[in-house]
Amino acid sequence: MMNTKTIRYILYVVIIIFCVVAIGLGVYAQFFTKEPVQDAYGNDISAGGNIVTAQDVNQSFIDLFTNEFYSNYDESTITKVDDTKELVYTFYSDNQTVEGKYSMNINIPVINIQSDVVTVFNNLTQSIFVDKINSVMAGTSVYTIYNLDYTAYVNNNLLSVAIKATIKEGDNPQRVIVQTYNYDLQTDSAVTLKEILEDRDIDETVVENRIKTVVQNASNDANKMAESGYTVYQRNVNDEMYQIDNITNFIEGPNGELYIIFAYGNNNYTSEMDIIEI
């Protein structure tokens, strides 16, 4: 018969073995059975790295709108409309509130280049944004909050301009409208997304898959909120708008990063946006 000392020794050994096994199982679960960590684009970053969330990408895009033009481009080869101004400048700025009617903080850009292509761009700015400003100032039946900002960059020979308006009219949901222009300063031509991807040797399928992932994740989140009783904007993930050939809203940022923009407020009363950064 074992004495008390021997029994105590065996118990200690059993406890130690149990602890070792438990730690081993924990390590295995941590590194081998854990669900993969993914960023906003579905990239597996379980082994480490920074998580890129959709909110991070959207915020980095919104932070671009400083109402300034950034460029080191030699403008001597460009024929300007106004030689005293930069290639892109604030044509009109206003910040005013009329009680009971509207509150506006607007900065309207103009592209200062003599070109038929640029004229089309500036006319779009007029019809999309300026005409709305005029109608608000002329008087509306509901109180309106209208904020408008822009950003503009030149990367190599590509001029990119983006204008963002936030509009809240009465009880209607807030809208965010984004319009972009991309112009080749050397060839005097509008630039398509397909051309930029070809120039960068980026596979269109890879980009479309990234777009699909971001939009699908946003759609899943919206569905969950809808199930909880919230009113949300519903995306159609199969819409042809997400195909490369149909995408017209994009901009190159200050370091050449490419933002693809789906601003659903362009055609709906919503501030929802899906931004894909390449």
Q: What is the CB-side half-sphere exposure of residue 250 using CA atoms within 13 A?
A: 28
What are the structural domains of the chain? 54-277 (3.30.565.40)
pLDDT of residue 275: 97
Mean pLDDT by 10 residues, the chain (278 residues): 56 57 51 48 49 89 96 93 97 95 97 98 96 87 94 95 97 96 97 96 95 96 90 92 96 92 96 96
Q: What average pLDDT is seen over the chain?
A: 87
Predicted pLDDT at 16: 63
Cα gap 93→70, rounded to integer Å: 19
β-bridge pairing 102-111 and 144-155: parallel
Contacts with 100 (C-beta within 8 Å, 6 or more apart), sequence order: 143
d(CA 192, CA 259): 13
| Contact between 235 and 218 (Cβ < 8 Å) | yes
Q: Residue 11: its pLDDT value, please?
A: 54
Give φ, ψ of 270 to 5 degrees: -160, 155
pLDDT, one tens digit per residue, over 193-205 is 999 999 999 999 9
CB 181 within 8 A of CB 202: no
DSSP states along 31-84: HHSSPPPB-TT--B-TTS-----HHHHHHHHHTT-SS-EE----GGGS--SSTT
